[in-house]
Structure 1
Amino acid sequence: MLGLQAGCCPDVASGRHLIYGREFKNAFDEDGNHHSAGRLREVPWVAIPPVVKAIRVLEKFAPAEGLLFDAGTHTFVNTPTRSTASLRFTALHSRIEAFAAWASHLARALGRDGEVIPDDPHGPIGLARFRRTLAWHIARRPGGLVALAIQYGHMRTAVSGGYAARGRDGIHQLLDIETARATADTLTTLHGDLTRGVGISGPAARRAIHAAAQAPAFAGSIRTRRQARDILDNPALTVYDNQRSFLMCVYNRERALCRRLDSDDAPRLDRCRSSCANIARTDHHAAQLLKRAQILEKQVASEVVPGPLADRLTHRAAQLRALADRHEHGRFNPQEPTS
């Protein structure tokens, strides 16, 4: 971030904004010489609107083609020589704390005590702790695993071949830990649901039940990279809740329709197919299917949607209801006796 320059996020007529930055740790030439100025990342970051807006603000301060966090620009003390480097970590640490104090003071002044930032029992926030926050949200947000594949080459909850070749420190290590925790949380939630009588269906339901049965063994115990790897490398625990597709993927490479044309041993949660043998659904997923179908049907009934689009929405709603109906007829619960 400190190495980003003005112009790193070009304007686009349509589509997503991209941020072009540099990498420094692995910036070596063919002879093994390190490039102190870094080299352009092969894969740019995808930027969301608030990030683009922040860059545009910084570009108003930064020198032409200079660093966004140019030390000379952002230092409010007169110095005899103007620096061409970026701000240092210590400067950013103090500014983060100053911002938290300012935000809390403003909240109190406006009578909004609920927005006061509480003192952190672990001390100053600092930059390194943002890594864990970032990793937590990426690993657990809907579509987060897809974002990992794009931004970090990290698809899994298993580690793909492309990601395995990358450095294993910094945020990558935290992503392993947080992704393993997300997997453990998914299995723990499934185990609790099944214990309470929630039904499950689908060709991979039995494998999902077997994986969930192991959840109590590692719940709350993932603190180190080795513990994370024990989960990520266990093929019996590869269960991912795909909220966008209203299903769980109990991943098995040999049965995966999303990997017919790929060789990486990792699921593609953006390519889920309803006929895949790795699918399992719970009563919760079925309820979400019906809720989504109702939303689509309400859009069609509004008579605002054009005819061709209304036909597609009606067809999609019928598909979702059929999936929910299939679950209702095929559901069972391991706690219930079977004849």
Structure 2
Amino acid sequence: MSDDGSVASSALPLVNPTADTLVFPRHRLRPGVSAEEASRFGELRWELAHLAHSDTARSKAFLWSNFPSALRPSFMRIAWALANIPTPDVLHQRLGARSKAVLSPSSLMSTLTTFRHFARWLKRQGITEISQIDQQLLTQYADHLTEKGWTNDYDERRLFALSRVWAYAPFLLPEDRMVMPPWEDPGAAIIDFLGDDFSRGHDGENREVVIHPATMSPLLIWALRLVLDLAPDIISAHRERKRLTDRIRQNSSEALDGPQRIRDYLRTLQASGNGLPTYIGTVGKHFRREDWAENALPVNLGFIAGTLGVTHAQVSTHLAQLPDGLLLADGAPLNVEIAARIDGKPWTDTIDFTEARPLATHLVTAALITVAYLSGMRPEEVLHLERGCSKREEREDGTVRYLITGRHFKGVIDEEGNTIAGGELRTEPWTVIEIVDRAVKVMESLHSERLLFPRSVTPRRNQPDEMEIEAEGLASSVLAPRFVSFVRWANEQATRLGREHELIPSDPHGRITLRRLRRTVAWFIYRRPGGRIALGLQYGHVGTSMSESYGGRTKADMLEVLDYEKTLALADTLAEAHDRIESGEAVSGPAADRYIAAAQEFNARYPGGFVSLKQMKELRNNPRLQIFEDSQALLTCNLDPYKALCDPELAKVGSQELSTPNWGRCNPACQNISRADSNIRRVESDIKQIDTELADPLAPYPLRVRLQQCRSSRRSTIEQHKAIARRAKITK
């Protein structure tokens, strides 16, 4: 063994697989994938999903057919080495190394994609063999990446993929070995090759863009409306549609009396004056006669066949000889009673046969948004939830909480440090609010599958190719179109029902994803602590449940995202406080001095913003800088947990220290209150609104009394502020 820990090449069999050699080791294959089905080295399509053990796995094939042919044999052997030989020690010994012994399917796909990009670039340089590559050429490739303008992290991963080729050299044939990249030289740094502007961004969800509030608020309103109000109607329609489709016979031998049933059915329709059920969808079994008007709806074969228990062919045969005088109905409404109401009126008159399955899909999407957004789970954690995962727990103090048990994936590794593909059961359940539990129960009522969000409850689609892998669970990659479809449907309903204020606008930062939902709820918790999610539920309740879920975790998780948003919210509030005081605003209240001092300290410590995560942590943990503002409270809270009258546990021994204000219990006598002139302007605006309501001669007497009391209280606040407010100039 050499000094760097690598094994001498003379002691190793060099990588040179035959065409029928398995690409991946048998023990790493996905359960259910036999050796006969697994990819072979000589094939130009390698199915990487054979390595994925999750319930949301989908085909992830790498195609060698579009790889430069001259370099393909060498890179195929290199790729086989990466999949079958543990990562060499030299890569584990790099500064800040995070390499695993075994590459995950996604990392392998990323690496192979980089090989293809690199090989195409080499082809343009006239390179046909790896032995022709030198350090100068690799430096030119690094320059090429920088010129393309991709992200720094992306460029770094591409260069590291080439470092892997060099690291595996002792295992490779001489013609497949690559010179040590210049960025792996002990005296070099990655910044030397990726430009002076190179920097690593924050990891994880903190890089996700928050969904705009104007988009998120109505999106959640419609998601909760489906889960809490419309779900029973949609589930009933889904079951009725399934009952009808299950009755459709596949061949005429199963319905020998089918022709007579159809004739009786048509005669009954004609006698009653009812029309033939029509098809209002875009895909499905339907029938249209040539002599019908162009705008006439086709007959719904599936609805009729299911109603009568016959075949599609039997129905279409008799429809071709329709008796004169039969009318066409407007759709094929299911026999489902509409119970849900919006503004006291039924939300729809009927649910059509063709609408039932799309509505079920929208219900799945709504439940997915509800669970993901209000629990703070990661996408894979949500998508792997199973039937029976949620339970109600009554505690000794009389309170009730809801617990969800499921699998988690991030940071789940084996004894050798390799990622466990299927994750593991989380030892500590997620604590959630009741709405999340109700969304889980809705999914359990909608279907009978093992997974809470199965692929089976989806719009009609072609079956996957026999070469493809498609597990029973939904995959994150297919959700974006579902969100788009859900928004389109919700906007159609908002327009139809005259609820234009609930239209969901497009998000300025692009498509909605589960990862963005996770980041967005943290933003709302700290930016709108008194704001209401829907139906009176406050974000503070969600924040509390998330803190309880993640507080006992040893690894950074949702608390990291919450802390990140709390710090940004604190910084914004303090920066605004500094601007107010610098512009000459006066401050009043028992905590006025603390408010001014906090603004001064913040401006002195962070005049140019944050430079590091360490600074963010210092700000978050500085007890003098805990300044919180809520426009609905018409004040600023300078939180000192030992003075906080909003804390119901304040006087209790051993109670947990309050970390954010409880705006729902704000007490005007609290010593943490301060008000600046801008707060008072909002109070004055509030008084104007009250005066407008008092001017209404039809306002009930009890309401008028309450409004007058509110007006008097706000007027007193203004007078007190004017009497004791003081100004302070922040030193620049």
Give 1:298-337 correspondences, 5 Å limit: 298-335=692-729
Verify the 8 A CA contact 2:390 2:405 in the aligned structure 1: no
Output the CA distance in 2 between the equivalents of 1:218 and 1:154: 32
Aligned partner of 2:14 in structure 1 is none
Aligned to 1:45: 433
Q: CA 1:295 to 1:65, structure 2 compared with 1: closer, same or farther past 3 Å? A: farther
Q: Residues 249 and 103 from structure 1, CA distance in 2 versus in 1: closer, same or farther, beyond 3 angstroms?
A: closer
Q: 1:15 matched to which residue of 2?
A: none
1-side partners of 2:425 and 2:471: how far apart?
13
- For residues 22-41 of structure 1, the aligned pairs below 5 Å read 22-25=405-408, 41=429
- d(CA) in 2 for partners of 1:297 and 1:139? 32
Q: Which residue of 2 aligns with 1:134?
A: 521
Paired residues of 2:529 and 2:539 also in contact (CA < 8 A): no
Give the number of equivalent residue pairs.
298
Partner of 1:264: 656
Q: List aligned pairs for 1:65-214, cutoff 5 A.
A: 67-74=451-458, 76-78=461-463, 85-87=472-474, 91-96=475-480, 127-143=514-530, 147=538, 149-153=540-544, 164-166=551-553, 169-214=556-601
CA distance in 2, matches of 1:154, 1:8: 14
CA distance in 1: counterparts of 2:486 and 2:538, whole angstroms: 32
1:322 Cα shift? 0.5
SS at match of 2:642: helix
Work out whether 1:255 is the aligned partner of 2:640: no
Shift of 1:184: 0.7
On the 8 A contact 2:430/2:549 being kept in 1, the answer is no
Q: State the distance in 2 between where 1:255 and 1:95 align.
A: 47
Segments of structure 1 that go 5 or more residues without pairing to the other structure are 11-17, 27-34, 108-114
Q: Find the aligned partners of 1:172 and 1:307 in 2 and give their Cα distance.
A: 48
- What's the TM-score once normalised by structure 1's chain length? 0.70
Query: 1:86 deviation in Å?
Result: 2.6
Provide closer, same or farther for how the CA distance between residues 20 and 63 of structure 1 changes in structure 2, counting only shifts above 3 A.
farther
Q: 1:139 to 1:74 in 2, by over 3 A?
A: same
1:204, 1:280 within 8 Å by CA — same for their partners in 2? yes
CA RMSD of superposed structures (Å): 4.4
Q: Choose which of 617, 626, 629 in structure 2 pairs with 1:229.
A: 617
Alpha-carbon separation, structure 1, partners of 2:557 and 2:599: 30
The answer as to whether partners of 2:587 and 2:726 remain within 8 angstroms in 1 is yes
Mapped partners of 1:40, 1:84: distance in 2: 27
Q: Structure 1 residues 278 and 36, CA, compared in 2 at 3 Å: closer, same or farther?
A: same
- Could you tell me whether the CA contact under 8 Å between 2:586 and 2:676 is conserved in 1? yes
CA contact 1:176–1:225 (8 Å) conserved in 2: no
Equivalent pair of 1:188/1:219 in contact (CA under 8 Å) = no
Q: Which has the larger radius of gyration?
A: 2
Give, in whole Å, the separation in 2 of the partners of 1:125 and 1:303. 46
* Cα pair distance change 1:101/1:118, threshold 3 Å: farther
The equivalent of 1:291 in structure 2 is 685
* Displacement after TM superposition at 1:271 (Å): 1.7
Q: Distance in 2 between matches of 1:119 and 1:203?
A: 42
User: Shift of the alpha carbon at 1:276?
Assistant: 1.2
Q: Could you tell me whether the CA contact under 8 Å between 1:201 and 1:280 is conserved in 2? A: yes
Structure 2: segments with no counterpart, 5+ residues: 1-381, 393-400, 410-422, 492-504
Letter in structure 2 aligned against 1:184: A
Q: Letter of the aligned partner of 1:195 in structure 2?
A: E
Whole-Å Cα distance in 2 between the matches of residues 99 and 163 of structure 1?
Answer: 28
Identical pairs, percent: 25
Q: Which string of whole-angstrom CA distances, capped at 9 and with x for unpartnered residues, describes residues 226-268 of structure 1? A: 4332122111101111322111111123322223345332132
